[in-house]
Amino acid sequence: MSDKIKRIGVLTGGGDCPGLNAVIRGVAKPAHDNGLQVLGILDGFEGLVLGKGKELYNKDVSGILAQGGTILGSSNKGDPFHWPERVGDEIKIVDKSEEALKNCDAWGIDALIAIGGDGTMHIAHQLGEMGLNVIGVPKTIDNDLDATDQTFGHDSAVFVVSEALDRLHTTASSHHRVMVIEVMGRYAGWIALHGGLAGGADIILLPEFPFSWDEVYQKVMKRNMRGKRFSLVCVAEGALAEGEKMVVEETDIKRTDPLRLGGVAKYVAKKIEINTGLETRYTVLGHTQRGGSPTPYDRILSTKFGTYAIYLANKKRFGEMAALKGNEIKSVSIESAISKQKLVLCDSQAVRAASAVGVSFGTKDF
């Protein structure tokens, strides 16, 4: 009997982002060319628990390279180890990992390719410990996985932020206003940092560097006094002032991470207006950062990741995740990938470059 793998499952877990379909295509096309069958699992890990899957044929993955979202559907509420079950009026959290494994057996898949961020990699790792053959592909607009130099989806989100800042720039300058823009990123400031830098923000506020209100007010006032009668403030959803807490929009225990951040731009805009007297408006970019077509960079990275994942599967290098290291795609263990979150450091090159061109991070430290 040949010990080659014959059938793989693929799923997209957590929040969607541009490039997911390019990865699915990168997995399925070489798999089909090598005679492998590909089962698409629907709605992330929810589909694994509920047994929702569909065969992916060549025609299904043709023409999806530039398509946003995921043809498989996704969910950030389907963690098999943290499964919300309704009991009467209450939601109880139960473990459904055995069901997930039983479904994989019933489908006859030899390996599962899990495309997702830190939450997905945690689940993939736990399923791997239970004996499932898993391979990871790192996705997230947040770019907060330390094991890879970049996750796919981040570049597309930064593109959206940069374009929005360009648009806000012209209207801010016409009306002599302070414009505050709120971007995603959860507990990491990469989208705000890279998007703010690309879009010429004057102030960038990050979760990693709690800011001083006085520094923020002084920066906009100084610009005003120098004749720059507008300012652009790019604030990460997780940014917080010294001694304060992150602004939370909602807490939902059904989610892997129950906290949904949001609302900081409105708060920052109000404080700036009250304390500087300058007219201020805010914009929340929200899920526009996750929608639409991937940038060329993300299409290329996603294709490299997908094809590398099928290479790992063929080599039976289970428990590994594709990762960008410099210009090369390599692999790391999924376990090491979940051990460290990648956060912005004060000596990050982008932070130093931003400081050098006069960007304020709302702190005296640099």
Applying CB under 6 A, the residues found at the interface with ligand F6P are 15, 76, 117, 140-142, 184-186, 237, 260-261, 290
Asked if 134 contacts 334 with a C-beta cutoff of 8 angstroms, the reply is yes
User: Which residue lies nearer to ligand F6P by CB, 9 or 238?
Assistant: 238
* Exposed/middle/buried for residue 3 (C-beta within 10 Å: 0-12, 13-18, 19+): exposed
Vertex 64, ends 284 and 62: CA angle to 5°? Answer: 175
Catalytic residue chosen out of the listed positions 43, 110, 142, 298: 142
Coil, helix or strand for 148?
coil
In the complex, what is the shortest distance from the CB of residue 286 to ligand F6P, in angstroms, rounded to a whole number? 8
User: Which residue lies nearer to ligand F6P by CB, 215 or 237?
Assistant: 237
User: Which residue lies nearer to ligand F6P by CB, 154 or 219?
Assistant: 154
The one-character DSSP state at 149 is S
- The residues that bridge with 204 in the sheet, in sequence order, are 234
* Exposed/middle/buried for residue 33 (C-beta within 10 Å: 0-12, 13-18, 19+): exposed
In the complex, what is the shortest distance from the CB of residue 106 to ligand F6P, in angstroms, rounded to a whole number? 30
Asked if 182 contacts 226 with a C-beta cutoff of 8 angstroms, the reply is no
Look up 365 and say whether it is catalytic.
Answer: no
DSSP string, 179-194: EEEEE--TT--HHHHH
How many other CB atoms are found less than 10 A from the CB of residue 328?
10
In the complex, what is the shortest distance from the CB of residue 14 to ligand F6P, in angstroms, rounded to a whole number? 6
CA dihedral of 292, 293, 298, 299, whole degrees rounded to 10 = 150
CA 148 to the chain's CA centroid: 13
Coil, helix or strand for 313?
helix
In the complex, what is the shortest distance from the CB of residue 69 to ligand F6P, in angstroms, rounded to a whole number? 12
In the complex, what is the shortest distance from the CB of residue 46 to ligand F6P, in angstroms, rounded to a whole number? 14
User: Which residue lies nearer to ligand F6P by CB, 238 or 319?
Assistant: 238
In the complex, what is the shortest distance from the CB of residue 6 to ligand F6P, in angstroms, rounded to a whole number? 34
Name the residue number minimizing CB distance to ligand F6P. Answer: 184
In the complex, what is the shortest distance from the CB of residue 349 to ligand F6P, in angstroms, rounded to a whole number? 22
User: Which residue lies nearer to ligand F6P by CB, 170 or 341?
Assistant: 341
Contacts of 361 (CB under 8 A, 6+ apart): 203, 204, 205, 206, 209, 211, 351, 354, 355
User: Which residue lies nearer to ligand F6P by CB, 30 or 196?
Assistant: 196
User: Which residue lies nearer to ligand F6P by CB, 53 or 195?
Assistant: 195
- Could you give the residue numbers annotated as active site? 142
